[in-house]
A and B are shown apart, each in its own frame.
Chain A
Amino acid sequence: MSFQFLQILWFILIAVIILGWATMDGFDYGVGSLLAFIAKDDREKRIVINSIGPVWDGNQVWLILGGGAIFAAFPQVYASVFSGFYLAMMLVVWLIIFRAVSFEFRSRVEDESWKKRWEIVITVTGLGIGLLLGVALANLLRGIPLNKEHVDFESLFGLLNIFAIAGGLVSLSMFLMHGSAYLVMKTEGELQKRARNYGTKFAYAYIIFTIIFLLISPIFAPRLLNNSLGILGDILPAIMLIGAIGVILAMKSNSDTRPFMFSVLSIVGTIASAAVGLFPDIVPSTIKSSYSLTPFNSSSNELTLVVMLIATLIGLPLVILYSIYAYKKFGLKVKLDEDSY
């Protein structure tokens, strides 16, 4: 295995880990965002929360793993992006902190206003994370002003451009669609009907925002036009749209699981499009292309990449094994009992 091959492999593995996070934790945030709208009474709220109750914590580890893997494989990317996006990163952290305690705290006190407050927290943190994922990815696709030493001195407001907001709306609608599809799978009756309805609407929203984003990308991020896969890269975003159309059609059928599968497909399309769009850069510099961070100038040495690869090949199958066990134990449909949130 050549060093260059390892560096490209790690670029792909990081994309896969981010895909793992967006797929697994994405529905947690989507379900959380929907909580305030979709559930009518306390029982329904509990069903919505407990659809992710036993699993959200495990899902969140994908994000932790993503941070650790970027740190280990591409330390300079970790350093440049996280410090460059300082206040935005802090905002993400604060949202995740409140999300992490919200389910447990809400269920501990039988009091209307206490519960109400935590429900708002669950919804707001879900919406916030959904939006910020796309904002971050769009900014990377556009490039950030990395200087010669790979340091970015831009302020928080530099991150909030039209292109980034369009990207944010893509990811937000994606998580909302994904959360709805997950609820279709996990619930029954009226609640499920509402989830189908919301899922269809958010799939349309996702299609519209994706098309807008694709149309304006040549203006804001011209580098996307000569992406690494050429014409193949140009048609990759079609998977995003095929997935979303699949969601809309599957929502009309009586299948409980098919909407979720198509939703996963559109997330695969989204993350793959972003990865192909970035490659061969990881962080393009808007100042000078030679200042950009690539898998080849920002990676750890060969030994570290080999060690991490071996760890991943052993560890990831274990993670999948635990996950299958946990999801199986709690069954497809939510059943509340005295231990539920």
Chain B
Amino acid sequence: MDALILARIQFGLTAFFHFLYPPLTIGLGALLVITEGIYVYSKNEDYLKITRFFVKIFAINFVVGVATGIVLEFQFGTNWAQYSAFVGTIFGSPLAIEGLFAFFMESIFVGVMLFGWNRLSPKAHWVSTILTAFGSALSGVWIIVANSWMQTPAGYKIVNGKPIMTNFLHVVFNPYFPAEFTHTIMGAWEYGAFFMAGVASWFLIKNNKDMVMRKALKVAIIAGIFISVVQIILGDVSAKEVVKYQPTKLAMMEAQWHTQKDAPEVLFTIPDEAQQKNYFAVKVPYLLSMLATGNPYSKVMGLDGAIKYIAHKDHITNLKPSMFPVDAVYTTFHIMMYIGFYLAGIMLIAIILYWKDRLYDNKFFLKVLWYSTFLPLLALEMGWCTTEIGRQPFTVYGLLETQNSVSKNVTVPDLIISITMFVTIYLILLSFALFLFKRELKGRLEGKDETNTKPKEA
């Protein structure tokens, strides 16, 4: 294996592991703002108990997120030095601004939030919870600014063969930013809602008279039904942006090898990259054309057409169909999409059951909710794979190829050492995080009070 493949594996692994955590920080953070807000205004102690219990899990997730995130700030330089030198003058600023405006806010106020229960008035504490959640969402804004710029670069011109910034606002509000940001943040909130719903369901399966967890489930499904429906709409908006700006990605997402009119949506297939064919394809006629353009008879660009389009538009002529990982992009995209529909369906059933007052003692459905706890996370990861793998063979779409982005001085042995270490460390962290998560669930079941984690000290 060459250094390029290994560097890509390392980036994929470290980003994948990191992305297991921040969505919960953002999503659960937003729900905690709601539950603590209800407590502050209604003085109902149950909502304080919900908040304090979930804050304990939030804290575990938060530190692992911080720990796994550090490498991402440095990895562009260590492994992608050519990329960093090429686009750093544009790409670096959103990362620095993220640190300055978002990450500081989040990280300073999370300390106040976790340790300040006895030092602040309920309202002041709520404010620190809000700032933590807001800071984490704002982090998301700047990270997505950086990522969406790699998808649809804007606000630059090429001088001496390198892009330099000409308009900061165009960099920030590049074409893909609004759709990608809203779709990602909504995904994080969806995960937050399902997480709270799943955990509350677990407790209700054990004891359906648990009034605190009944309230938690109620909050989670009311938030969840709005979020999961809006998310499907946002997904459609995002896909339409891809149609407009990244034709090769769309062709990969839909396993669309050849440009055609009246394009069918391929609901299921096993794409064969060598033959450029779809096996076992299940199709709905006209649907892809309809979704992509609003017109069922319209022409949709396939991989062959998209390659020609890029050759014409960006003057990149060395692209071949074999450079496009259709298999991975098609599969991850469809897993994400189906999970998205499933989640909205589940929330709809939950709301109906709640309406008919049959939610809390429906053990079967509570189990479904519990088993769905981490499904939004899977959808988020799959969506991220679609975005990133779908951008291949570019790091900056139409501007810089992945093979010209990697560090020249990082060797295969270097990478084997670092990948081995990352895998080991991240598996240790993940298993510890899950172990501690389960412990908190069991601890509460055994009657440990939500508001106390340790015996009081004099």
Partner of B114, one of A90, A319, A339: A339
- Give a binary string over A142-182; 1 marks a CB under 8 Å from any B CB, 0 the rest: 00000000111100000000000000000000000000000
- Give a binary string over A300-339; 1 marks a CB under 8 Å from any B CB, 0 the rest: 1101100110011001101100110110011000001111
A218 interface hit (Cβ, 8 Å) = no
B5 interface hit (Cβ, 8 Å) = no
A18 interface hit (Cβ, 8 Å) = no
With A and B bound together, what is the CA distance between A63 and B58 in angstroms?
A: 23
B59 interface hit (Cβ, 8 Å) = yes
With A and B bound together, what is the CA distance between A98 and B407 in angstroms?
A: 26
With A and B bound together, what is the CA distance between A230 and B418 in angstroms?
A: 42
- B-side contacts of A222, CB under 8 Å: none
Partner of B168, one of A60, A65, A84, A303: A303
- B-side contacts of A63, CB under 8 Å: 70
- If A75-B89, A93-B70 touch, whether A336 touches B457 (CB-CB below 8 Å) is yes
- B-side contacts of A128, CB under 8 Å: none
| Complex interface residues of chain B between 100 and 119 (CB less than 8 A to chain A) | 100-101, 103-105, 107-112, 114-119
Partner of B96, one of A311, A319, A322, A326: A311
With A and B bound together, what is the CA distance between A68 and B409 in angstroms?
A: 22
Determine if A315 and B164 form an interchain contact, defined as CB atoms under 8 angstroms apart: no
- Give a binary string over A200-237; 1 marks a CB under 8 Å from any B CB, 0 the rest: 00000000000000000000000000000000000000
- If A76-B88, A100-B70, A101-B432 touch, whether A108 touches B96 (CB-CB below 8 Å) is no
With A and B bound together, what is the CA distance between A301 and B160 in angstroms?
A: 12
Determine if A82 and B85 form an interchain contact, defined as CB atoms under 8 angstroms apart: no
Chain A nearest CB, measured from B337 CB (Å)? 33
Determine if B92 and A83 form an interchain contact, defined as CB atoms under 8 angstroms apart: no
- B-side contacts of A75, CB under 8 Å: 84-85, 87-89, 92
Determine if A90 and B78 form an interchain contact, defined as CB atoms under 8 angstroms apart: yes
With A and B bound together, what is the CA distance between A261 and B277 in angstroms?
A: 70
A81 interface hit (Cβ, 8 Å) = yes
Determine if A105 and B436 form an interchain contact, defined as CB atoms under 8 angstroms apart: yes
- If A79-B82, A339-B117 touch, whether A61 touches B107 (CB-CB below 8 Å) is yes
Partner of A101, one of B67, B105, B417, B454: B67
Among residues of B, the one whose C-beta sits closest to the C-beta of A69 is: B96
- A-side contacts of B92, CB under 8 Å: 68, 70-73, 75, 78, 300, 304
Partner of A86, one of B78, B96, B112, B439: B78
Determine if A61 and B81 form an interchain contact, defined as CB atoms under 8 angstroms apart: no
Determine if B409 and A60 form an interchain contact, defined as CB atoms under 8 angstroms apart: no
Determine if B60 and A97 form an interchain contact, defined as CB atoms under 8 angstroms apart: no
Determine if B63 and A301 form an interchain contact, defined as CB atoms under 8 angstroms apart: no
With A and B bound together, what is the CA distance between A301 and B171 in angstroms?
A: 14
Interface range for A: 35 or more
- If A60-B66, A308-B93, A329-B116 touch, whether A65 touches B108 (CB-CB below 8 Å) is no
Determine if A83 and B78 form an interchain contact, defined as CB atoms under 8 angstroms apart: yes
- If A81-B77, A151-B408, A304-B165 touch, whether A315 touches B101 (CB-CB below 8 Å) is yes
| Complex interface residues of chain A between 69 and 122 (CB less than 8 A to chain B) | 69-73, 75-76, 78-87, 89-90, 93-94, 96-98, 100-101, 103-105, 107-109
| Residue of B82, B101, B104, B456 ringed by the most chain A CB atoms within 10 A | B104
Determine if A93 and B74 form an interchain contact, defined as CB atoms under 8 angstroms apart: yes
Among residues of A, the one whose C-beta sits closest to the C-beta of B131 is: A322
Partner of B104, one of A96, A307, A319: A319
- B-side contacts of A103, CB under 8 Å: 63
How many contacts between A and B, using CB within 8 angstroms?
A: 253
Among residues of B, the one whose C-beta sits closest to the C-beta of A88 is: B78
| Residue of B82, B89, B109, B432 ringed by the most chain A CB atoms within 10 A | B89
Chain B nearest CB, measured from A96 CB (Å)? 5
- A-side contacts of B164, CB under 8 Å: 300-301, 303-304
A249 interface hit (Cβ, 8 Å) = no
Determine if A301 and B89 form an interchain contact, defined as CB atoms under 8 angstroms apart: yes
- If A301-B89, A329-B119 touch, whether A68 touches B98 (CB-CB below 8 Å) is yes
Partner of B103, one of A54, A55, A61, A153: A61
- B-side contacts of A280, CB under 8 Å: none
B421 interface hit (Cβ, 8 Å) = yes
Determine if A108 and B109 form an interchain contact, defined as CB atoms under 8 angstroms apart: no
Determine if A71 and B88 form an interchain contact, defined as CB atoms under 8 angstroms apart: yes
Chain B nearest CB, measured from A32 CB (Å)? 15
Chain A nearest CB, measured from B50 CB (Å)? 17
- If A326-B109, A330-B115 touch, whether A89 touches B74 (CB-CB below 8 Å) is yes
Determine if B111 and A55 form an interchain contact, defined as CB atoms under 8 angstroms apart: yes
| Complex interface residues of chain A between 124 and 147 (CB less than 8 A to chain B) | none
With A and B bound together, what is the CA distance between A228 and B78 in angstroms?
A: 29
- A-side contacts of B362, CB under 8 Å: none
B455 interface hit (Cβ, 8 Å) = yes
Determine if A307 and B93 form an interchain contact, defined as CB atoms under 8 angstroms apart: yes
Among residues of B, the one whose C-beta sits closest to the C-beta of A103 is: B63
Chain B nearest CB, measured from A73 CB (Å)? 7
B211 interface hit (Cβ, 8 Å) = no
- B-side contacts of A108, CB under 8 Å: 60, 436, 439
With A and B bound together, what is the CA distance between A58 and B62 in angstroms?
A: 13
Given A65-B96, A71-B91, A340-B454, 12 additional A-B pairs, CB 8 A: A67-B74, A82-B84, A83-B79, A83-B407, A87-B417, A97-B429, A101-B429, A101-B432, A329-B116, A330-B115, A330-B119, A339-B117
Q: Point out residues on B near A: beta carbons under 8 Å.
A: 59-60, 63-64, 66-68, 70-71, 73-74, 76-79, 81-82, 84-85, 87-93, 95-101, 103-105, 107-112, 114-120, 159, 164-166, 168, 407-410, 414, 417-418, 421, 425, 429, 432, 436, 439, 451-457
Between-chain CB contacts (< 8 Å), 15 pairs: A53-B115, A71-B88, A82-B84, A93-B71, A97-B429, A100-B70, A104-B60, A108-B436, A300-B164, A301-B89, A308-B96, A316-B100, A322-B109, A338-B451, A338-B453
For the complex of A and B, the 8 pairs showing the least CB-CB separation, nearest first, are A75-B88, A82-B77, A72-B92, A68-B96, A71-B92, A300-B89, A58-B108, A54-B111
